[in-house]
Amino acid sequence: MIFDVLTIFPEIFDTVLGSSIIGRAQDAGLLKVTAHNIRDFSMDKHKKTDDSPYGGGNGLVMLAQPIYDAYISIVEKLEYKPYFIYMSPQGKRLDQQLVEQLAVHKHIIMLCGHYEGVDERILEEIVDEEVSIGDYVLTGGELPAMVLIDAISRTIPGVLSNEDSYSDESHKDGVLEYPQYTRPYEFRGTKVPDILLSGHHANIKKWRRLQSLKRTRERRPDLYGQLVLSNEDKKLLDKDRNDVLRE
């Protein structure tokens, strides 16, 4: 999977995405992230990448030309059109479902905006989709682009050392993850739930599923409302309710 990022701060991508799991995946050739400096494509003698908005108003707008030329420098060598995403608070809000939809593209170009935005003509001409990482406004699209690269990358087979750790986790099938414990058995007076030491794998699986369902119901009623509960899920929840009533 290839990610090309158009940004005025290319250096920050190397440090963040060069370390840990994403760094290792890049070393292993599973993905490649290249940050391109939009400023390198400026025709202005001061390497300007923005200007004041037509019609007046505060802030600066990013110029179309350096962005367009940076884009062309990437696609002119290709025989296909990569998927182009503009990171913007006005975009579609990112969730795990959108991550998985975007992960089907083998090559993604991302544009990181700044200031008051980007000249609309660039958006009309080359952007396939605008993506927001949440309903808040950041100072630039760099952190959002890194969030999206990280979220997509970890869905690529081989990026996580144990593939189960992707298929089992929060949001994957619309529920939150169950609680996890490791040594010691007792920490500040609280013991690990006995079921986890029983060695009974089927019961452990059921217990974990119940915890996931209860956690989702309590913390994310919005997600819980969209769940289609299996008969097995309903049985687990009924039994739990009866156990609680009996206590």
CB of residue 136 to ligand ADE, shortest distance in Å = 6
- Of 134, 158, 179, 193, the residue at the interface with ligand ADE (CB under 6 A) is 134
- Nearer residue to ligand ADE within complex by CB, 66 or 141: 141
CB of residue 120 to ligand ADE, shortest distance in Å = 16
Contact 144, 113 (CB under 8 A): no
Tokens 């929060």 found at: 170
- Residue in the shown chain whose Cβ atom is closest to ligand ADE: 144
- Nearer residue to ligand ADE within complex by CB, 23 or 140: 140
Residue window 74-93: x/- pattern of binding to ligand ADE, with contact defined by CB under 6 A:
-------------xxx----
The answer to whether 175 contacts ligand ADE (rule: CB under 6 A) is no
Q: Residue 172 and residue 177: Cα distance in Å, rounded?
A: 9
The answer to whether 133 contacts ligand ADE (rule: CB under 6 A) is yes
- Of 31, 42, 141, 211, the residue at the interface with ligand ADE (CB under 6 A) is 141
Q: Residue 143 and residue 62: Cα distance in Å, rounded?
A: 18
The answer to whether 117 contacts ligand ADE (rule: CB under 6 A) is no
Beta bridge partners of 217: none
Q: Residue 93 and residue 101: Cα distance in Å, rounded?
A: 13
DSSP string for residues in 226-240 = H----HHHHHHHHHH
The answer to whether 138 contacts ligand ADE (rule: CB under 6 A) is yes
- From residue 146, alpha-carbon distances to 35, 112, 121, 187 in Å are 11, 10, 25, 36
- Of 137, 202, 228, 245, the residue at the interface with ligand ADE (CB under 6 A) is 137
Contact 195, 204 (CB under 8 A): yes
Beta bridge partners of 190: 187
The answer to whether 118 contacts ligand ADE (rule: CB under 6 A) is no
**Binding interface with ligand ADE (CB under 6 A):** 87-89, 113, 132-134, 136-138, 141, 144
